[in-house]
Structure 1
Amino acid sequence: MNSDLVGVRPADDLAPAVALFRGLADPTRLAILRRLADGERRVVDLTTALGLAQSTVSAHLACLRDCGLVAGRPEGRQMFYGLARPELMDLLGVAEQLLAAAGEAVALCPTYGCAADGGQ
């Protein structure tokens, strides 16, 4: 690839963005982030709200924490999780606007759309 082309970036420059969007590509992690957008939550709060096992929620929180998107705050014997980067909600808000405009095309994408995952 010719790096002299305007707007073309080497793949290494895109690696952090690719990692971010892969981290956000999981429905459970997005559901957790939506809950945390409303304020801090404990694992038990998230398991109840999402109907998921504690181990599943904990694993996804660990992923989000490792990515620097979620932070934990201990209080006594409990840990409260919240957004480490509030601007993440701005990104998700823009994504919702984009989906409102192009949602049908995204849903019909043969690689990543609803048809590709069996309509899930």
Structure 2
Amino acid sequence: MQNIDYDMKVKLIHGFSNKTRIQILESIKEKEKTVTQIVEELKGNQSNISQHLACLKGCGIIVGRNEGKYIYYSLRNQHIRDLLTMFDVVLEDVENDVARCDRHID
């Protein structure tokens, strides 16, 4: 049996546990984008979006590619894309329960 590092698992899941980070991930799910493009799409604050991008990159969920003066952000790989899709599938199945859950801790 494989030894599970729960702390590492929690750190990874934390990368997905913020509304803005999820919006960013959905924004770049199909196509890489610059910070400016993401900010415009989300109608967000550039500084805030950049902080969330740094978190996602630090967690290994996204990667950045330099081209000239721009950095293009994309999902790290197909596994991350699949995981985002799986979140949607699971949520569809348990949405009513999640909506009623009063034990969520921020």
Q: Secondary structure at the match of 2:28?
A: helix
Choose from 61, 64, 68 the match for 1:69.
Answer: 61
Deviation at 1:16, TM superposition (A): 1.5
Superposed CA RMSD in Å reads 2.0
Residue 40 (structure 1) aligns with: 32
Large movers: runs of 4+ above 3 Å: none
Deviation at 1:106, TM superposition (A): 1.1
Are residue 102 (structure 1) and residue 66 (structure 2) matched?
no
Cα separation, 2, equivalents of 1:97 and 1:19? 22
Q: Could you tell me how far 1:17 is from its partner in structure 2? A: 1.4
Q: Any gaps of 5 or more consecutive residues in structure 1?
A: 1-6
What is the deviation of 1:36? 0.8
Q: What residue number does 2:45 align with?
A: 53
TM-score when normalising by structure 2: 0.90
Letter in 1 for 2:31: G
CA contact (8 A) 2:15 2:61 kept: no
**CA–CA distance in structure 1, aligned partners of residues 99 and 33 of structure 2:** 31
Higher relative contact order (CA 8 A, sep 6+): 2
**1:20 & 1:36 partners in 2: Cα distance?**
18
Identify which of 58, 61, 78 aligns with 2:70: 78
C-alpha deviation, 1:63, in angstroms: 0.2
SS of the equivalent of 1:39 reads coil
Aligned mates of 1:29, 1:39 — CA distance in 2: 16
Identical-pair percentage: 33
Unaligned runs of 5+ in 2: none
| Secondary structure of 1:24 counterpart | coil
Distance in structure 1 (CA, Å) of the matches to 2:33 and 2:77: 15
Aligned residues: 106
